[in-house]
Amino acid sequence: LQDILDNGEVRDDRTGIGTISVFGRNLRFDLRGGFPAVTTKKLAWKACVGELLWFIEGSSDERRLAEITHGTREGVTTIWTPNALAPYWKPKASFEGDLGRVYGVQWRDWQRPLYGNTGYSLDQLRELLDNLQKDPNGRRHILTAWNPGELDQMALPPCHVMSQFYVNKNRELSCHMYQRSVDVFLGLPFNIAS
């Protein structure tokens, strides 16, 4: 946070609020030393786990996220509710709460190009898990949510766009996650925990 305040550049953004921005910073966490929970503010742990389960499920339904995190679809909001209700998105939504082809959909139902008249999807998460087991030394253990051909079909383009996994000789798993954008004060503690 101090690096951003000391070295950041004031920039305009799509929200009209503006940002103080830095580019290409890295954070490293060794889970052998403990869980990297940021403790300078409350961590919405239940919402974090619920969102991750929602991604893994492959859902685009913001109301399903409400059900996972609050036990009901009715009368509660999630961190995704404003996106589901955004005026720019609602005309594109297929149903109330639809967020389009966001994270989990890309992870579990990546649309492959049509070859001839047959198109099919790829379950990136299943393939990743299978490949980590079959070929732990592989260098292609990647999960991505950034699908340029479908960005217009998403209520919000992904912020954490890609993760690459690495298995060392001791069979310990490492993950390198690339995030294109983050509100460091608000969202980063949530993203680190996720």
Contact 116, 78 (CB under 8 A): no
Quote the CA–CA distance of 116 and 144 in Å, as a whole number.
25
Local structure of residue 148 (DSSP, 8 states): G
Q: Which neighbouring-strand residues pair with 79?
A: none
Contact 172, 132 (CB under 8 A): no
Relative orientation angle of helices 62-70 and 45-57, to the nearest 10 degrees: 130
Token pair, residue 145, equals: 């949510």
Helix (H) or strand (E) segment spanning residue 20: strand 19-21
Active site residues: 159
Contact 170, 115 (CB under 8 A): no
136-145: burial string, b at 16+ Cβ within 10 Å, e else = eeeeebebbb
Quote the CA–CA distance of 177 and 166 in Å, as a whole number.
11
